[in-house]
A = this chain, B = another copy of it.
Amino acid sequence: MKIEHPYLLFLGDVPDALAAKTATGIVDWRKDWCAGQLRLPGCAADTGLPDISIADAKEKGVKTMVVGAVNAGGRLPDHWVASIVSALDAGMDVASGLHVRLGSIPDIQAAAERNGRQLFDVRLNTEVFPTGKGTKRKGKRILAVGTDCSVGKKYTALAMDKAMNERGYTSSFCATGQTGVFISGRGVALDAVIADFISGAAEWISPETDENHWQIVEGQGSLFHPSFAGVTLGLLHGSQPDGFIVCHEPTRTTMRGVSTPLPTIQQVIDLTIQCGQLTNPDIQCIGIAVNTAALDEEHAKAYLAKVSADHNGLPASDPVRFGMDNIVDRVSAEYGAP
């Protein structure tokens, strides 16, 4: 699967910014691939890219319209179809991270056919996986986990990969969600895999590698989220991380989309170690990544210092705001310099 850029990011009319996290993630890591965003009336999300029409996008040489927003359950609202058909009629491919197959919608399939364009369903895997085996593989792995969904696990993994490369480690980012696949050009949307093969797919995503190569694996869900914890556990077992980073959003009180209260960071550390030891007895927490976007800089720094002090001095940072150097320091202290 090769998705051509430049991209036009379609946001639909989603009711909040989190629902457009696919688009936001692409802009944060591949802004130079993005020509603009297309929003419908009422859209509450904004990537900061210029709002452009499909005609503008065609003018700018856009190759692919990316459906960069998702509603609960990953369905495609009927009133988004016309925009997708227009993009195909303008000669673009369309790529989507929704659960519904684009080609299953007759108007979209017909438009793709009459224009000879491709439809990419990043979230629907055609790959066949073996079941997970739990056997220890060569290479080093770091997994991002979280107190909730949508707390910056992908950002943390991408920032960690970037920081480790800058410090002289050899590392690679392993995508497990649709945005990660758009950013890296490979990987698997793990929540779209058949349940029996979750850990098998996670093993495929982070295969045996050189003893000194670090795979930085994007996390999914939370062991404490009543909708998605099964995916999280299968990913933990399959990726058999040596180290994990707990991602947290300090202003949230209930888990995303449900009324379940948020767990504490310590609960996540404890349960991740307890479950992760099944496939890697040496698993340990190597840092805490906090999304401090809701705090000013002074409060953010104070919060991070307190989080670190409250958790045995584990390094804490906001990967977007303050980088990952202190967590790379911990990697160096625990596993050696590059």
Contact = CB atoms under 8 A, between A and B. Distances in A.
Given A199-B227, A230-B199, A259-B135, A192 B191 contact: no
16 contacts: A73-B130, A74-B196, A99-B194, A131-B227, A133-B227, A134-B260, A192-B196, A195-B195, A195-B231, A200-B227, A226-B238, A226-B278, A230-B232, A230-B237, A271-B274, A271-B275
A257 interface: yes
Interface string A230-268: 111111011000000000000000000111100000000
A198 interface: yes
A131 B194 contact: no
Contact of A260 (B195, B223, B231, B278): B278
A195 B191 contact: yes
B231 A196 contact: yes
Interface string A123-151: 00000001111110000000000000000
Interface residues of A, number: 43
A15 B231 CA distance: 31
A72 interface: yes
A46 to B, nearest CB: 26
A182 interface: no
A178 to B, nearest CB: 11
Identical chains in the assembly = 2
A259 B135 CA distance: 8
Contacts of A238: 226
Contacts of A224: 278
Interface centre among A192, A274, A278 (most CB of B within 10 A): A278
B228 A231 contact: no
Interface in A163-195: 190-195
Given A131-B227, A191-B194, A193-B195, 6 more contacts: A99-B196, A190-B195, A192-B195, A229-B275, A229-B278, A233-B233
Interface string A201-235: 00000000000000000000001101111111111
A22 interface: no
Contacts of A227: 131-134, 196, 199-200
Contacts of A228: 131-132, 196, 199
Contacts of A259: 134-135
Contact of A230 (B130, B134, B230, B271): B230
A265 B176 CA distance: 33
A134 to B, nearest CB: 3
A228 B190 CA distance: 14
Nearest to A72: B131
A279 interface: yes
Contacts of A196: 74, 99, 191-192, 227-228, 231
A199 B229 contact: yes
A320 to B, nearest CB: 26
A75 B200 CA distance: 15
